[in-house]
Amino acid sequence: MSFELPALPWADDALAPHISAETISYHHGKHHAAYVANLNKAVDGSDLEGKSLEEVILASEGGVFNNAAQVWNHTFYWSSLSPDGGGDPSGDLGAAIDAKFGSADDFRAAFKTAATTQFGSGWAWLIKDGGGVDIVQTANADLPLAHGQSALLTIDVWEHAYYIDYRNARPSYIDTYLEELVNWEFAASNFAG
Ligand code: MN3
């Protein structure tokens, strides 16, 4: 059973003008699709064939890990974005964010710093930390799952995520993510899960 490229949770142009259909079509249709194809090439006929994506991530390293983790990361990233996103977190997650960071604004500042200062390619994450939350950065394909952590939200800060729309202005892309796109419903369901 090969891995498949998951469909996007919204139309290609649903995040425009914040993230263009052109960016989404390349990011999903070329980058994410290539990770899926490369993963299948590596896993088919190997000891890892038939394992779940999470099992492959935890059992592999090098190129197999990189492709498996990037398949997982991108699927999680699409769900972290919503055409109706932005605003402040509420409920139990909102309370956990206030307890850790002080306020939603303080969270946004800390998340922006993490996403901006991740050197080169990688990701910034909101993760579950005991009963609370924390922010972590990962490089390249690395992800919280590989460190025994549970992800709540992510932003892709590889240049391919923003270069068409923002050129080198990574901080503007991060601001837009936090103000217009971040999917708090998805994060809250992960926090409850
Ligand atoms: Mn990407």
* Domain residue limits, the chain: 21-79, 91-192
What separation in Å is there between the alpha carbon of 121 and the centre of ligand 1? 9
In the prediction, which pLDDT does 130 show? 92
Q: What is the pLDDT of residue 28?
A: 98
pLDDT tens readout for residues 48-86? 999 999 999 999 999 999 999 999 999 999 999 999 999
Task: Determine the distance separating the centroid of ligand 1 and the alpha carbon of 74, expressed in angstroms.
Answer: 6
Architecture of domain 91-192: 3-Layer(bab) Sandwich (3.55)
The H or E element that residue 75 is part of is: helix 62-80
What mean pLDDT value characterizes the chain?
Answer: 97
- CB-based contacts of 118, cutoff 8 Å, min separation 6: 124, 137, 138, 139, 157
Q: Which CATH architecture group holds 21-79?
A: Orthogonal Bundle (1.10)
User: Could you report the per-residue pLDDT of 84-96, keeping only the tens digit for each?
Assistant: 999 999 999 999 9
- How far is ligand 1, taken at its centre, from the CA of residue 33, in Å? 11
Confidence of residue 1 (pLDDT cuts 50, 70, 90): low
> pTM for this one?
0.98
Ligand 1 centroid, distance to 50 Cα (angstroms) = 25
Predicted local confidence at residue 100, as pLDDT: 98
Structure tokens belonging to residue 3: 């891995």
| CA–CA dist 18, 30 (Å, integer) | 20
Q: In what side-by-side order are the strands of the sheet with 122-129?
A: 132-139, 122-129, 150-156
User: Separation of 67 CA from ligand 1 center, angstroms?
Assistant: 11
